[in-house]
Amino acid sequence: MIEATSLTKRYGKTVAVNDLSFTVAPGKVTGFLGPNGAGKSTTMRMVLGLDNPTSGSVRIGGKQYHELKHPLRTVGALLDAKWVHPNRSARAHLTWMARSNQIPARRVDEVLDAVGLTSVAGKRAGGFSLGMSQRLGIAGALLGDPEVLLFDEPVNGLDPEGILWIRKFMHRLADEGRTVFVSSHLLSEMALTATELVVIGKGRLISQSSTKEFVARASDSSVRVRSPHLPRLRAALAEFGATVNDVDDAILVSDVDSSKIGELAAANGIVLHELSPQQGSLEQAFMQITGDSVEYHTDLDTEARQVLASAAS
């Protein structure tokens, strides 16, 4: 369990994290979502005691990082996959980490096996692909067999196979009962990976909920309706206070749900050929909810377009 309470971090005039409170529960993958510069990395660094909060606190299993007796046995993290001496082999790197943290050497082979790096364990880490480096970073995070795991943008730059591997691995760790907290600015990716979402913008909490709830709350709640009696239906809906917009051969009805539209149509003897609530995407939800909190609109718009384009292709 991770608990942040009124967490605030200032760098000079920049407020990177602003009065942020959230909890991350065990047994689930919780996504930490926000556009670039929202404060995700700063928050993760504070969880890990790498940066001190200006005010507020963050606790892991009830303790601040510096109060943990065996930090690596409580919390493991992947912040920067390339943080490895390039001439060291994967095994030598992990052995060095294990030794300096009083972790038994046999754990090295266990974690190499867990991330599928056994066959290349003797090779120079400097020659690893990004995907292999991410696996090595994850192996390092798992060395102390910790209950809590933090991953900062773990799929950045990975190919589809690497992304799928990381996603499955996160689910496996959560199924083992661990607390898995993973940051990303990739909205579609988080929809597939996380069941819970902590969403921030400009350092502030925008929402904490299940991914499903987040999408439902913000998604376009309009209903698409087709009918051979559109003028009569339009009149009945207008009387009920609904907002109606024309699209192709249908109308999009807002402010009234689909069951009410069906009842109104039946009460007026109107035939319906289609009555379909419109499902919003995580991208729409994110854009709608983050709204003004987005610091770099242009970046986010470009990014959202890319995500939507890749999802559609």
Ligand X SMILES: Nc1ncnc2c1ncn2[C@@H]1O[C@H](COP(=O)(O)OP(=O)(O)OP(=O)(O)O)[C@@H](O)[C@H]1O
Binding site for ligand X (CB under 6 A): 11, 14, 16, 34, 36-42, 185
Smaller CB distance to ligand X: residue 38 or 139? 38
How many CB atoms within 10 Å of residue 261? 24
Could you give the 3-state DSSP secondary structure of residue 306?
A: helix
Smaller CB distance to ligand X: residue 158 or 252? 158
Smaller CB distance to ligand X: residue 7 or 143? 7
The CA R_g of the chain, rounded to the nearest whole Å, is 24
In angstroms, what is the minimal distance from the CB of 8 to ligand X?
A: 12
Smaller CB distance to ligand X: residue 109 or 303? 303
In angstroms, what is the minimal distance from the CB of 14 to ligand X?
A: 5
Tokens of 220: 């376009």
Kind plus residue range of the DSSP H or E element containing 250: strand 250-254
In angstroms, what is the minimal distance from the CB of 11 to ligand X?
A: 3
Cα 312 from chain centroid? Answer: 20
Calpha distance 30→170 (Å, rounded): 10
From the list 214, 224, 270, the residue with the least C-alpha distance to 245 is: 224
In angstroms, what is the minimal distance from the CB of 166 to ligand X?
A: 17
Tokens of 211: 């991914």
Strands (E), 25-123: 28-33, 55-60, 75-78
In angstroms, what is the minimal distance from the CB of 200 to ligand X?
A: 7
In angstroms, what is the minimal distance from the CB of 81 to ligand X?
A: 14
From the list 176, 92, 174, 87, the residue with the least C-alpha distance to 140 is: 92
Smaller CB distance to ligand X: residue 34 or 137? 34
Smaller CB distance to ligand X: residue 204 or 224? 204
In angstroms, what is the minimal distance from the CB of 9 to ligand X?
A: 8
Q: Helix 282-290 and helix 211-218: axis angle, to 10°?
A: 70
Calpha distance 64→71 (Å, rounded): 10
Smaller CB distance to ligand X: residue 109 or 295? 295
Distances (CA, A) of 14 to 10, 17, 42, 55, 56: 6, 9, 12, 14, 17
* Residue 103 per-residue DSSP state: -
In angstroms, what is the minimal distance from the CB of 5 to ligand X?
A: 18
Smaller CB distance to ligand X: residue 11 or 239? 11
Calpha distance 190→212 (Å, rounded): 11
Calpha distance 8→227 (Å, rounded): 54
